[in-house]
Amino acid sequence: MEYNDLVTALEIFAITEPMSLTQLKIKHKKLVKQYHPDTGCSDNEKIRKINSAYKILEAYCLKFSFTFNHDEFMEQNPEERLRQQFADDPVWGSAKKR
């Protein structure tokens, strides 16, 4: 999981402060119900994005702490910290391949 994925998931769920896994499940259920085709909304792509974001947030909540801040994420995910640290490096980074 990359930090950008987590940020996108937080934006989809409009999460701005820490929440418990139970609160996350309630929010997921509410969002899916809001965009469900039975309610007159036919946006299947929106439901797919909500479910994908939920999987990311659920995995993060089950494995890590719940504060969702950048420093804590980097501390708990050293691979992502290294990926961001060397992203612009011409030898190691993927941004500037020859």
Cβ atoms of residues 36 and 47 within 8 Å: yes
Amino acid 93: pLDDT: 67
* pLDDT tops 50 at residue 44: yes
Using CA of residue 98, residue 86, residue 16, residue 46, what is the dihedral sign?
Answer: positive
CA distance linking residue 57 with residue 55, whole number of Å: 6
C-alpha 50: how far from its chain's center? 10
Residue 67 binned pLDDT confidence (cut-offs 50, 70, 90): low
Q: Looking at the domain covering 3-85, what would its CATH class be? A: mainly alpha
Residue 96 is predicted with a pLDDT of: 46
Q: Where are the domains of the chain?
A: 3-85
The span from the CA of 83 to the CA of 89, in Å, is 10
pLDDT, averaged across the chain: 83
Of 18, 31, 26, residue with least CA distance to 64: 18
What is the model's pLDDT at position 63? 76
Residue 66 in this model has a pLDDT that exceeds 70:
no
- In which band, very low, low, confident or very high, does the pLDDT at 77 lie, cut at 50, 70 and 90? confident
